[in-house]
Chain A
Amino acid sequence: MMEKLNIQNIGLTVGILVILVGLWGLLTQKNLIKIVIGFALFDTGTHILMVSIGYIKYRTAPILDEAVDIRNAAKLVVDPIPQALVLTAIVIGLGITALMLSYVLKMYQNKKSLEINNYKDLKW
């Protein structure tokens, strides 16, 4: 039992939970801002998932400094690639969230409503 309860699995579980919470918010909340928050949570959950996947027990961050010797770095650090990816993903997620919020702003300016049900003019 304790064997399973390592940091990687905790990370994975938390990540999936956050994703589900985010998805739940995205699909059920009627307020546009809350939907965006839902999306952001979804995003964050994915990032946690990514970092957890790259984690290797007893290893350190993949930064080459005095703690990590460049010659045996490969044995000392966790997989650097997910970390690099997650940085990019965070930036992209931020960009999308920002764009969403600016859309919400535009929508609110036009219709003075944050209710998603009020934006169903196009259908069928």
Chain B
Amino acid sequence: MVGPIYIIAISLGTAFSLGFFKKANRNISFGLMFFAMAFVTFISGQWLYAFLSHQQETIQIFTAGFKPPFSISLQMGFHEAVFLTMINVLGLLSAIYLFDHLKEKGANMMMVFMLLFMGLNVVVMTRDIFNLFVFLEISSITLVGLIILEKKQDAISSGFKYLIASGIISQILLIGIIAAYYYGGSLFINDMVDSNLLFVKGGSVAVFLILIAVVLELKPFPANGWALDVYQSATPGIGAIVSGAVATTSLFILYKLLPIGGDAWLLPIGITGVISFLGSNFLGINQKNANRILGYSSIGQVGLLMIIMSLSKDLGDKFEFVFFSILISHYLAKAGLFWISGIINKDEIGQWNIIKNKPGLIVLTGVFMLTLLGLPPFPSFYGKWELIMNLAHSGNFTWIAIILLGSFFEAIYLLRWFGKTLMNNENSEELIVKFHKIFPAVISSFLILMFSFLTARWSGLMSVKYFIPFAIALLLFALDFLPVFIKNIMAIATVSWYSYVLIYQTYIPENDILRIIFGFIFLIGAILLLFPGFTFKGKRRGFYPLVILMFSGLAGLIEARTTFQFFFAWEMMTLASYLLIIRGKNAKKTSFSYILFSMAGAFMMFIGFGLAYFETGSISLNALADVLIYANWVYILVAVGFLVKIASLGVHIWLPDSYTEADDDVTPMISSILVKSGVFGLIILMLSMSLKNAASSNIPYILGWIGALSALIGNMLAIYQEDVKKLVAYSSIGIMGYILFGLSMMSHLGWLTAISYSIVHFLYKALLFLAVAGIIYRTKTRNIYEMGGLIKRMPLSFISVLIGIITLAGMPPLVGFAGKWMFYNAVILKGWYFQGAIVFFSGIVAFLYCFKLIHNIFLGPIKDNHRKLKETSVWWLIPQFVLIIGIMIISVYPKIILEPIGLYLSMYFPGEGLVWAGTTASTSLGYWDATQIMMVFAGMFGVIFIILFLMSRKVQVVEQFNIVFQAERPERPETTHYAHNMYAPYNKALGFLAAPFITNSWEFIYESFHAIGDQIRKFYTGNGQTYALHIVMYVVAFYLFINGGF
């Protein structure tokens, strides 16, 4: 193996020899430098491999033939190897990225570049504190030298600020070192650790000075204006180095020197981390400059890593895993984003939509941002999971709250940025992507994916089968060049296979009714709803991998047996659905609120799972039942996550626009299938927590009220909508409230209603959205008042909508009535009369929008531009009629679903259920015979129809322009189509219920955040002196804090 000392030798040697090439070909110089750096990378990589593959011992290298403290010693251990590899890989990629800069500046600049990385390498390896200081100085001098690469005025002045700040910091460090030497007598770090400097008189000042200098090197908020300016102004290639290599090295210095301070320093470091993490991420919300945001985010992440470092005791043997998975993902992703920022070369994030037509760049940006956010399957997800869970295990809930809050702030700005990246682009400016600029980013994303797999395996939480969906998604992604038709077939085949394996091979033999039902909704539903995909032309880039991920996330939910698996699937499904929604043309804003609400909900759920783990020490989902002391907390926290998904009142504001703006075939998927994930979650939660825990018995009561009010408000809002998709979307809020209400009754009948209604809702909501989407597909408008009279053009769609609304409204003889009937019985038996009455009222309100839906689209006079419309495509109709058949079967014979569900539920709810006698179902209150009703109705309808038919055989069919069409203005049919603002009197009477006060309050909160952040960030005045003052004040404040001055 090549000794680590060669890292220095080769770097220095090459750097000096570059001087000879000054006049010669710059390509040769670059080649030489690159080769040297590659070799250095190889050396560090080789050591890393040695540590990973076999039990390589940590080695010490003594220079000048003496043992320390009489000489400088270098250490090569596992941690050193990791950090060196990280730094050198980044150096190599940066060299490629900065190829043209370096070439333009010539050999001198290459020398500086090499020396920077040599400096960082030595800083990592050295065990001599003065040596560390020297090489730290070398690194900062070379770094500042590199900043001049950019000739911009901003870059130069920020470089000057950087110099002043780092000058002060290095002086503090120097004084600290000399004081430490004075009191401790050694510069060898190991001796310093052993000598317990803190207990020597005056030694604590030395330790303080050294450690505060190291902390300041990490650019802690708020003494970090100088660093932010560099991030913002330097060429992004430098930003990548600062964030990826320099910050990483600084972290390692802290890691190396922290033992000097001993345990007493852990908490201060943690608090510094908290301030940095929360502060920078909070201020990041307000930023618009891409590189500056990255700077903020970088500092925030370093803060997080400081927190983790300070909690190393609590994390125990998981510390390394947590630390490295978060560090490495941050390092790769941040560098990648800086590189992309350099390619795009736009300051404002609003201008990033220039990459709209570059799918590759979008994918890269997405991968990096999602990695930063810690969403699955990216490595930081596992890190965050272990972090939170281990903290929970030791009861550190303050830390958990802080970490998740900061992560949420970070999510806000990163996701808003991502949304802006996908904004429509009117600007036709062409983006030129040079190969050497994109190459490092591609490598970096590739490394992220590889690392994802490694962390997942390393975490021990994931078995290989969880990677199958990713493999399929990747395959589909690789085949993205194929036309939609083929990819759609592949997607359907995949989901079919999946449902065959899960439902037919697993659940049916196990007779697991709950999982059969939801497997059916999630997967069979998916197959049906993929059919309309055939109508799409072109390639639909990126669509199918996401669809597969979303549905496998859903399948993962039913498969999950531990909270980790559940959370993983939940996040994956959320993420995929977010990305699917954001594909819609105008969905950027709304998908943002969707993902923010979802993430907030997911974080709550996360804390809840953590709390459960704290109490029971198990991550099994069944263990939720054993939570007793914190039952209420766990229950509420986890439930919030599900309530967001089913858009309960208060957290519903994301839903209408998201449904509306998503692609037309995505809307049915999310509205009829995806929301059921929330229902499923609630079922799992309630089965384990409500039944066995008397402690949390009040929560279902509250949930019941939430459900009832959601039902009311959702339906109230639906009737005023002029956008047809929005109308159906609001109705979803109402129906989900209804299901929530049913579940929270915690009775056999309530659950029977809720579960069976989940199936029914799936059937008719998919039917309605498909029909509506099929109509929009032809009419090209979503405004309901711009339609009309389409019954003659699209009779099949009319039948779908008719069946859909009859089911929705709960009219007999269709199966919707089953829901209403069981509901009455359940409510009266339960005794929740008033909530029940509200729900019934909202059910009747539903008639209003049902009628609006069918009338405004299909009845009344037809519009001029729709006269030649055809029936919608067969691909929209096939699933519709499959759904209609489904509705009809269970309408005639509801027993086939109700009886098994009832049997299943009687395991959990021994209370009163339905009693079946033939086709008659009865409770102690009432009875109902769907089959007989259907027969009576059909017979009666038939007879009356025949009578009419016999009596009116000579009926004359009149057309629109016939005189019999009264009050007709054929040239302007819209004037006689009473469609716009249809329920004006209702609005006048009860419109206050539909006032958007919840939306307004959320917006107020959001605006307040911005306003506060806007004021706080003003202390970054831009003046280098002020920044220096910040540093001095920070030191003073820190000193006071440590010594109890505060």
Instruction: Verify whether A and B have any Cβ pair under 8 Å.
Output: yes
> A-side interface residues toward B, CB under 8 Å?
19, 23, 26-28, 30, 32, 35, 39, 42-43, 46, 49-50, 53, 81-82, 85, 88-89, 92, 95-96, 99-100, 103-104, 106-107, 110-111, 116-117, 119-124
Chain A residue contacts of B174, Cβ below 8 A = 46, 50, 89
Contact (Cβ within 8 A) A121 B157: yes
Query: What are 5 A-B pairs with beta-carbon distances under 8 A?
Result: A19-B175, A46-B178, A53-B179, A100-B167, A119-B1024
Contact (Cβ within 8 A) B168 A26: yes
Of all A-B residue pairs in the complex, the 10 with the closest CB atoms, nearest first, are A123-B1022, A120-B1022, A119-B157, A122-B229, A103-B160, A124-B1017, A92-B137, A50-B178, A53-B182, A110-B153
Query: Known contacts being A53-B181, A89-B174, is A116 close to B1025, with CB within 8 Å?
Result: yes
Query: B230 — nearest CB in chain A belongs to which residue?
Result: A122
Q: Given contact pairs A53-B181, A107-B153, enumerate 6 new A-B contacts (beta carbons under 8 Å).
A: A27-B1025, A46-B171, A50-B178, A53-B182, A104-B160, A124-B1020
Say whether B154 faces chain A, with CB atoms less than 8 Å apart.
Answer: yes
Separation of A119 and B134 alpha carbons in the complex (Å)? 30
B214 to chain A, nearest CB (A): 17
Contact (Cβ within 8 A) B134 A88: yes
Chain B residue contacts of A28, Cβ below 8 A = 1025
Chain A residue contacts of B187, Cβ below 8 A = 81
B188 to chain A, nearest CB (A): 11
Contact (Cβ within 8 A) A99 B1022: no
Contact (Cβ within 8 A) A121 B156: no
Chain A residue contacts of B154, Cβ below 8 A = 121-122
Contact (Cβ within 8 A) A103 B137: no
Contact with A along B216-237 (1 / 0, CB 8 A): 0000000001001100110000
Chain A residue contacts of B159, Cβ below 8 A = 103
Query: A30 — nearest CB in chain B belongs to which residue?
Result: B1025
A57 to chain B, nearest CB (A): 15
Query: Known contacts being A49-B175, A85-B130, A120-B1021, is A95 close to B141, with CB within 8 Å?
Result: yes
Contact (Cβ within 8 A) B182 A96: no
A101 to chain B, nearest CB (A): 10
Contact (Cβ within 8 A) A123 B1021: yes
The listed residue (B134, B158, B181) touching A82 by CB distance below 8 A is B181
Contact (Cβ within 8 A) B1020 A39: no
A38 to chain B, nearest CB (A): 9
Contact (Cβ within 8 A) B153 A111: yes
Give the size of the chain B interface in residues (CB under 8 angstroms): 46
Chain B residue contacts of A106, Cβ below 8 A = 148, 156
Separation of A32 and B1025 alpha carbons in the complex (Å)? 10
Query: A86 — nearest CB in chain B belongs to which residue?
Result: B178
The listed residue (A42, A53, A110, A121) touching B178 by CB distance below 8 A is A53
Chain A residue contacts of B148, Cβ below 8 A = 103, 106
Query: B231 — nearest CB in chain A belongs to which residue?
Result: A122
Chain B residue contacts of A119, Cβ below 8 A = 157, 160-161, 1022-1024
Say whether B164 faces chain A, with CB atoms less than 8 Å apart.
Answer: yes
Contact (Cβ within 8 A) B1020 A82: no
Separation of A89 and B159 alpha carbons in the complex (Å)? 21
Query: Known contacts being A26-B168, A107-B156, A116-B1025, is A96 close to B1032, with CB within 8 Å?
Result: no
Separation of A96 and B167 alpha carbons in the complex (Å)? 8
Separation of A2 and B144 alpha carbons in the complex (Å)? 47
Contact with A along B143-187 (1 / 0, CB 8 A): 011001000011011111101100110110011011101100001
Separation of A92 and B137 alpha carbons in the complex (Å)? 7
A111 to chain B, nearest CB (A): 7
Contact (Cβ within 8 A) A46 B175: yes
The listed residue (A26, A99, A120) touching B1023 by CB distance below 8 A is A120
Say whether B475 faces chain A, with CB atoms less than 8 Å apart.
Answer: no
Chain B residue contacts of A23, Cβ below 8 A = 168, 1032
Separation of A96 and B173 alpha carbons in the complex (Å)? 15
The listed residue (A82, A85, A121) touching B1022 by CB distance below 8 A is A121
Separation of A35 and B175 alpha carbons in the complex (Å)? 20
Separation of A95 and B148 alpha carbons in the complex (Å)? 16
Contact (Cβ within 8 A) B178 A82: yes
Chain B stretch 889-915: residues in CB contact (< 8 A) with chain A: none
Query: Known contacts being A82-B178, A92-B134, A107-B160, is A35 close to B1025, with CB within 8 Å?
Result: yes
Say whether B954 faces chain A, with CB atoms less than 8 Å apart.
Answer: no
Contact (Cβ within 8 A) A99 B144: yes
Chain B residue contacts of A96, Cβ below 8 A = 137, 141, 163, 167, 170
Chain A residue contacts of B228, Cβ below 8 A = 122
The listed residue (B178, B225, B1024) touching A85 by CB distance below 8 A is B178
Chain A residue contacts of B134, Cβ below 8 A = 88, 92
Say whether B728 faces chain A, with CB atoms less than 8 Å apart.
Answer: no
B148 to chain A, nearest CB (A): 7
Say whether B1018 faces chain A, with CB atoms less than 8 Å apart.
Answer: yes
Contact (Cβ within 8 A) B171 A116: no
Chain A residue contacts of B1022, Cβ below 8 A = 119-124
Contact (Cβ within 8 A) A27 B1029: yes
Contact (Cβ within 8 A) B130 A99: no
Say whether B550 faces chain A, with CB atoms less than 8 Å apart.
Answer: no
Chain A residue contacts of B573, Cβ below 8 A = none
Say whether B739 faces chain A, with CB atoms less than 8 Å apart.
Answer: no
Contact (Cβ within 8 A) B233 A103: no
The listed residue (B153, B1017, B1023) touching A117 by CB distance below 8 A is B1023
Chain B residue contacts of A32, Cβ below 8 A = 160
Query: A121 — nearest CB in chain B belongs to which residue?
Result: B154
Say whether B275 faces chain A, with CB atoms less than 8 Å apart.
Answer: no
Say whether B1028 faces chain A, with CB atoms less than 8 Å apart.
Answer: yes
Chain B residue contacts of A35, Cβ below 8 A = 164, 1024-1025
Chain A residue contacts of B177, Cβ below 8 A = 85
Contact (Cβ within 8 A) B156 A122: no
Query: A97 — nearest CB in chain B belongs to which residue?
Result: B167
Query: Known contacts being A23-B1032, A119-B1024, is A42 close to B171, with CB within 8 Å?
Result: yes
Contact with A along B874-897 (1 / 0, CB 8 A): 000000000000000000000000
